[in-house]
């Protein structure tokens, strides 16, 4: 069997990345051939897939399961979002998969790959003039839309049963999702990352410099594979850092969380005997101090940056006296998403 890395078109990847960095990707369809999609799917899409793995693992911890009604990958690209989602929630395959992308090449590529990977899966094009329905996946699409297209998308999403939206973990992307949350929470329940249904605490004037982002774990092969080392050298991307912002909405009320539930934002700031954790709950966004003497195990995890972001805290005057990670089993290292 040939090595798929030998078939990668590096010049195509450089062209695509240049469009992203120059913020010109939204002006026109950037897929020129199936080879472009294959090369992207083996590389850039894998990093997005690890973000989706992180979000899906968080939803499993949260006790969430998808509603019936099928699955729509809107702005599908090479299809990495629905492949990651279907691995985590195979029951969604029962309702079939629809894909939509402005690029016919992308639609064809993602449908062919989904049929190969998920035997018996019903796959078809989505008609953008029809209601979305079911579960809608959106991945790294917002910045590629102009204002008119953004408005239409938000209106169309009102016909969905549930929405899982993943964007880069940048300040701008996070703030965009916060704005989208404010609009759509009139109709939907907020499932994640929020632990509450109130106005986002990051909208307060004192928090205008913060943003809601988390960090996914790359596959282990990133640190051992010569192919990924070559990818890093050619394109200058830090493969260890996978910042992600996301939003999950559902017509159904989510499972209640225990008292003191909080979502960690960003990374902990670790000092010799304590760590500072930025947490979000219904009262807003605030920093808590985790003393090593209060919880040696969680302090160790904070130091190694392996804390689960969904926790319960007992606080007193800014100190976290008790903390517990929620959701049972720890996150597993994601498998490669490109197979």
**Along the 339 residues of the chain, how does pLDDT read in single tens digits?**
578 898 999 999 999 988 777 666 666 678 999 999 999 999 999 999 999 999 999 999 999 999 988 999 999 999 999 999 999 999 999 999 999 999 999 999 999 999 999 999 999 999 999 999 999 999 999 999 999 999 999 999 999 999 999 999 999 999 999 999 999 999 999 999 999 999 999 999 989 999 999 999 999 999 999 999 999 999 988 888 899 999 999 999 999 999 999 999 999 999 999 999 999 999 999 999 999 988 899 999 999 999 999 999 999 988 999 889 987 543 333 444 444
Assess if residue 62 is contained within a domain: yes
Answer yes or no: do 268 and 242 share one domain.
Answer: no
Answer yes or no: do 269 and 230 share one domain.
Answer: no
According to the model, what pLDDT value does residue 334 have? 41
Answer yes or no: do 223 and 100 share one domain.
Answer: yes
Number of domains in the chain: 2
Answer yes or no: do 37 and 122 share one domain.
Answer: yes
According to the model, what pLDDT value does residue 161 have? 97
According to the model, what pLDDT value does residue 339 have? 42
Cis peptide leading into residue 193 (ω within 30°): yes
Tens of pLDDT, residue by residue over 5-64, are: 989 999 999 999 887 776 666 666 789 999 999 999 999 999 999 999 999 999 999 999
Answer yes or no: do 238 and 277 share one domain.
Answer: no
Assess if residue 201 is contained within a domain: yes
- Whole-number Cα distances in Å, 109 to 7, 17, 102, 112: 16, 20, 13, 5
Answer yes or no: do 147 and 107 share one domain.
Answer: yes
Could you tell me the residue range of the domain that residue 37 belongs to?
4-250
According to the model, what pLDDT value does residue 332 have? 36
Answer yes or no: do 246 and 265 share one domain.
Answer: no
User: Which positions ≥6 away from 135 have C-beta within 8 Å?
Assistant: 66, 67, 69, 70, 71, 72, 85, 92, 160, 161, 162, 163, 164
Give me the CATH number covering residue 202.
3.40.50.150
According to the model, what pLDDT value does residue 24 have? 65
Among the candidates 250, 275, 290, a domain finishes at 250
What does pTM read for this prediction? 0.93
Answer yes or no: do 153 and 226 share one domain.
Answer: yes
Answer yes or no: do 265 and 147 share one domain.
Answer: no
According to the model, what pLDDT value does residue 327 have? 76
Answer yes or no: do 245 and 267 share one domain.
Answer: no
Answer yes or no: do 239 and 286 share one domain.
Answer: no
According to the model, what pLDDT value does residue 48 have? 97
Assess if residue 337 is contained within a domain: no
Among the candidates 250, 283, 315, a domain finishes at 250
Answer yes or no: do 158 and 122 share one domain.
Answer: yes
User: Which positions ≥6 away from 160 have C-beta within 8 Å?
Assistant: 72, 132, 133, 134, 135, 136
Among the candidates 202, 223, 250, a domain finishes at 250
Assess if residue 336 is contained within a domain: no
Assess if residue 204 is contained within a domain: yes
According to the model, what pLDDT value does residue 328 have? 52
According to the model, what pLDDT value does residue 336 have? 43
């Amino acid at each position: 069997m040939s090595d798929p890395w030998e078939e990668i078109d590096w010049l195509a990847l450089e062209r695509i990345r240049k469009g992203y960095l120059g913020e010109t990707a939204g002006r026109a369809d950037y897929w020129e051939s199936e080879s472009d999609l294959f090369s992207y799917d083996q590389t850039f899409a894998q990093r997005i897939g690890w973000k989706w793995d992180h979000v899906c693992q968080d939803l499993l911890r949260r006790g969430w399961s998808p509603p019936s009604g099928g699955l729509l990958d809107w702005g599908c690209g090479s299809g990495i979002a629905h492949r990651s989602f279907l691995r985590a929630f195979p029951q969604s395959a029962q309702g079939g998969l629809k894909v939509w992308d402005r690029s016919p090449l992308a639609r064809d590529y993602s449908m062919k790959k989904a049929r190969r990977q998920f035997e018996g899966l019903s796959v078809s094009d989505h008609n953008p003039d029809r209601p979305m329905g079911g579960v809608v996946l959106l991945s790294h699409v917002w910045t590629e839309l102009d204002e008119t297209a953004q408005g239409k998308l938000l209106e169309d999403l009102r016909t969905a049963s549930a929405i899982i939206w993943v964007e880069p973990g940048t300040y701008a992307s996070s703030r965009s999702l916060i704005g989208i949350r404010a609009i759509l929470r009139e109709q939907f329940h907020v499932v994640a990352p929020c632990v509450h249904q109130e106005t986002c605490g990051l909208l307060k004037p004192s928090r205008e410099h913060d943003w809601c982002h988390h960090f996914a774990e790359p596959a282990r092969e990133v640190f051992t594979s010569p192919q990924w080392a070559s990818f890093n050298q050619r394109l200058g991307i830090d493969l260890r850092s996978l910042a992600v912002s996301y939003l999950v909405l559902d017509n159904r009320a989510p499972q209640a969380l225990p008292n003191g539930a909080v979502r960690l934002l960003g990374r902990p700031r670790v000092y010799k005997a304590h760590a500072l954790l930025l947490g979000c709950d219904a009262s807003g966004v605030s920093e808590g101090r985790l003393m090593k003497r209060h919880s040696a195990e969680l302090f160790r995890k904070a130091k190694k940056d392996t804390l689960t972001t969904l926790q319960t805290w007992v606080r007193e005057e800014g100190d976290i006296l008790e903390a517990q990670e929620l959701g049972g089993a720890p996150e597993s290292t994601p498998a490669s998403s490109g197979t």
